[in-house]
Copies of this chain bind each other. A is one copy, B any other.
Amino acid sequence: MINKIMNEKIKQAIKILKEKNIDLWLIFVQESSIMQDPTIEIVVGKNCTWQSAFLINRKGETTAIVGSLEVENFEGKGQFNKVIGYLKSIREPLVEYLNDNKPNMIAINYSRNSVIADGLPHGLYLNLLEHLKGTGYEKKLVSSEEIVSALKGRKSVTELSIMQEAVDKTLEIFDKVTCFIKPGITELEIADYIKSIVKEKGYGLAWEEDHCPAVFTGPDASGAHSGPTDKKVKKGHLVNIDFGIEYNGYCSDLQRTWYVLKDGETSAPEPVQQGFNVIRDAIQMVADKLKPGVLGCEMDDIARAYVIEQGYEEYPHGLGHQVGRKVHDGGGGLLPRWERYGNTPFMRVEENQVYTIEPRVTVEGYGVSTLEEEVVVRKGGAEFISKPQKKLMLI
């Protein structure tokens, strides 16, 4: 499965190089098990020890230059057609490769805008410059963020089918949780219950276990990036869960909201229902407009403006992000024009990307209303891969 996907992704990479008119993509890494460049798992598939160059050119040739002790390792199992070993320094074989290929532009693995494309540590970058000093190639280095964004974003058929399964399995867990939530139970108990199902099923967690799942209940709830506490679920409170699994190497990321009825209540109070509806409708409004070619920030605008117009404070985070092998994946996101997001809000949405849509509002005195759905972008528009929560669940 992994090799099948890797072959799909290498073919895709070559296509992207042609499309973007880039001669060569160089992934330069070292001791990649310590800090693994996120592209390693999609096109290389294993770690290296010494300085190594993984090269894909627009002619479709794949070449790995690795420490001599690792040549067999990469020849045996790697995806790279040609494996070159070196003993003392990578400079000579690397420069030789470049002289043979004479690329006009070399896209290397750093990015100011996208964390998943920023896999080249600064010190190693300086070493690469030193290797290339005087060859002229040091002036031809550009960021490979465009390649990585496209490659990570555009999901292959195999990737999409795994991601659909991951979402389905996450929703099955949410269904069980609905039966488990009751007044008196703590956030931590709910989180532990979810983790026990994840463990039993053999899935992984999509992010760190201290806040996956994030469970928050009632007013003054912690944010989505805080862990569950021993705060108890109470009647008249909202309960929210932000949770995802890792399944066959791919993540899901969803949020659901429940309201715990007070004695005598048969439906949620008006402000709670209103808070839920605003979120639900904001998501649908975005899904209706999301299609190849739009800018991420335009999508954030839609939901943010609607939430504010309905009288709520704007959410203190982006509307949505891509999902893939990492829970925060891909380059661009459905993000506001805030400096902390760099240029990622301004990237165009592409076909076969998977996004979350996750606005939220605070319902004064009750808690937080959140939903997070996942959609895949098709030629004609967005399709939900999570069955969207249309009604506030009542406990």
A68 within 8 A of B: yes
A119 within 8 A of B: yes
Query: Is the CB–CB distance between A127 and B112 below 8 Å?
Result: yes
A35 within 8 A of B: yes
A326 CB to nearest B CB, Å: 6
- Chain B residue at smallest Cβ distance from A128: B122
A361 CB to nearest B CB, Å: 15
Contacts of A112 in B (CB 8 A): 123-124, 126-127
Partner of A340, one of B67, B123, B222, B338: B67
- Chain B residue at smallest Cβ distance from A121: B118
Partner of A122, one of B69, B125, B316: B125
A325 CB to nearest B CB, Å: 10
A116 touching B34 in the complex, CB below 8 Å, given contacts A73-B225, A76-B226, A224-B69: yes
Selecting from A44-52, A170-178, A294-302, the interface stretch reads A44-52
A387 within 8 A of B: no
Query: Is the CB–CB distance between A121 and B121 below 8 Å?
Result: yes
Query: Is the CB–CB distance between A35 and B33 below 8 Å?
Result: no
Selecting from A207-215, A304-312, A348-356, the interface stretch reads A207-215
A110 touching B122 in the complex, CB below 8 Å, given contacts A34-B328, A208-B33: yes
Bound complex: CA A384 to CA B143 (Å):
47
A339 within 8 A of B: yes
- Chain B residue at smallest Cβ distance from A92: B339
A7 within 8 A of B: no
Contacts of A51 in B (CB 8 A): 340
Report the 3 A-B pairs with minimum CB-CB distance, sorted nearest first. Answer: A89-B339, A110-B122, A118-B123
19 contacts between A and B (CB under 8 A): A33-B207, A34-B326, A35-B38, A49-B225, A51-B340, A69-B317, A70-B226, A72-B222, A73-B225, A73-B227, A76-B226, A77-B210, A86-B340, A88-B339, A89-B339, A91-B339, A114-B123, A117-B123, A122-B122
Instruction: List 6 additional A-B contacts (Cβ < 8 Å) besides A117-B123, A123-B143.
Output: A35-B118, A69-B226, A111-B123, A114-B123, A120-B121, A122-B122
